[in-house]
């Protein structure tokens, strides 16, 4: 993945890499023969020999530990979100009925 490498894209045809934006992820800027300048991921491009410039990212399955951690974080977020909704609804009801006192704390 170097500047000046001739590439081919399914959508835009033939072009040339004009800028490497991030080498680690394979984000490049390509100038195509049709005049377009497009930012592309290298795994969407092939070189002159038809070889992909970068392998497509592989999605790995989460381990049990990662899944549990994700579920715990999601549940924590949803609990806080639901509490905020309930608090907002409670305040709306208080304001709409005229029973709102700014010195009242909500538990």
Please give the order of strands across the beta sheet that includes 13-22: 37-41, 27-32, 13-22, 6-9, 45-46
pLDDT score at 93: 73
Write down the pTM of the prediction: 0.51
pLDDT score at 99: 65
pLDDT score at 58: 76
| Average pLDDT in the chain | 84
Place of tokens 């000046």: 4
- Cβ atoms of 20 and 2 closer than 8 Å: yes
For 75, the token pair is 């549940």
Spans in the chain with pLDDT lower than 70: 98-107
Q: Which three-class secondary structure state does DSSP give residue 91?
A: helix
pLDDT score at 106: 55
pLDDT score at 76: 93
């Amino acid at each position: 993945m170097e500047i000046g490498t001739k590439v081919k894209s399914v959508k835009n045809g033939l072009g040339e890499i004009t800028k490497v934006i991030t080498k680690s992820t394979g984000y490049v800027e390509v100038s195509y023969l049709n005049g377009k300048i497009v930012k592309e991921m290298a795994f969407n491009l092939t070189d002159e020999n038809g070889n992909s410039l970068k392998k497509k990212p592989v999605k790995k399955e989460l381990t049990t530990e990662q899944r549990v951690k994700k579920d715990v974080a999601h549940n924590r977020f949803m609990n806080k979100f639901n509490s905020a909704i309930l608090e907002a609804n409670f305040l709306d009801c208080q304001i709409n009925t005229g029973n709102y006192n700014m010195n009242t704390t909500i538990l």
